[in-house]
Amino acid sequence: MNHQFIDKTAIILSWPREIDMYSKFLDLDDNLSFDFIVNDIKSIEKGRNQSNKLIEDLLIAKKIKYKLFTKIYQKVIYKKVISTGETCAMHINLYSITKHIYAVTIGFILELTKISNLLVKIFGKPFTANGSKSKLGIEWYPEKKIGNISIKFPEGADIVLKKYPFPDYEHAFDIFLSYTDLEISLIQKKFKKTVCKKIEYFKLSELKEENKKKIDLIKEFLEEIDLVLIMSVEPGFGGQKFMPEVINKIREVKSIIENKKIDLDIEIDGGINFNNCKIAKEAGANILVSGSTIFKENNGDLKKNIDLLRSN
């Protein structure tokens, strides 16, 4: 079958939240460089099917042109395609049926008898084909079916360390974009020859372009809120080191609320330990969020660790 080649980049939208994630592209004055593709693949998930219509409604409201995936599939090939990987659909074929039968019979027995645990120790795999959790269909990533080069766009800073990246990603994407060094290291550890590129979160980029400080953005709302949360690590995973530069932000917020005589809590979250907690409190924070220190220090003595954070 001959496909029409389109010298553009296709951006697949699979969930409404992705409209915000791709805001930099969607806010362009024209759509000459990009085609926005709404993922309208029918799914067993009711929520996903409802989202398809919502995406269309939102794009129409923003007066943004788009195409439906089912209308262009097997008809066109784009130069590049960008996707979060959420386009994934379930395909049923002879292989998936055979795999499912194996999983619910032999795989289930291996799982039930715990033989799978022994197989993991020996071979690194349980050989259960997901056992009792097996699904009749297999996951299908169609990105490469509509683009010569497929690019994985990051879903966010939160990732599941044990499972990420999912095995199917290796063959589904040529390039991985990421907001964090952690995600890049996880990808490169599993997929040795994969190209990874770090990018800046678009919303933060927009703020920098406008030369605005985050503190300036909340000034006008301080009298309407009860708490200001200041992150002292990059959001996404525990155990990170405290970023000392946030202390000045705490001091600035504290100064503003004192001058305006506002009753407001200042919460700091990330990398808090027995040493920096004192600096944070002296700067003006009155609520400290700590995970690793509370659960890991002093053999996990929660009461002792909490008391030390309060008293230091």
Distance of CA 241 to the CA centre of its chain: 21
Q: Are strands 76-83 and 89-91 parallel, antiparallel or unpaired?
A: unpaired
pTM of the model: 0.57
Question: DSSP string covering 20-37, please?
Answer: HHTHHHHTSS--SSEEEE
Residue 64 CB coordination number (10 Å): 16
At residue 210, the pLDDT reads 44
At residue 202, the pLDDT reads 57
- How confident is the chain (312 residues) per 10-residue block, as mean pLDDT? 86 86 63 81 70 88 90 93 82 84 94 93 90 82 91 72 78 88 86 84 49 62 85 69 84 89 90 89 92 86 90 86
At residue 157, the pLDDT reads 56
Question: Which two three-digit tokens encode residue 262?
Answer: 């506002």
At residue 126, the pLDDT reads 92
At residue 207, the pLDDT reads 42
Domains annotated on the chain, with CATH: 4-88+140-203 (3.40.50.2000), 94-133 (no CATH), 213-311 (3.20.20.70)
DSSP state of 62: T
Q: How far is it, in rounded angstroms, from Cα 311 to Cα 45?
A: 50
Please report which helix (H) or strand (E) contains residue 104, including its range.
Answer: none
Q: How far is it, in rounded angstroms, from Cα 234 to Cα 105?
A: 45
Burial string for 159-195 (b: 16+ CB within 10 Å, else e) reads beeeeebeeebeebbbebbbbbebbbebbeeebeebe
Question: Which two three-digit tokens encode residue 251?
Answer: 């001091």
Please answer whether residues 82 and 11 qualify as being in contact, where contact means their C-beta atoms are separated by less than 8 angstroms: yes
At residue 209, the pLDDT reads 46
Question: DSSP string covering 176-232, please?
Answer: EEES-HHHHHHHHHHSTT-EEEE---HHHHHHHHTT--HHHHHGGGGGG-SEEEEES
At residue 173, the pLDDT reads 92
At residue 233, the pLDDT reads 79
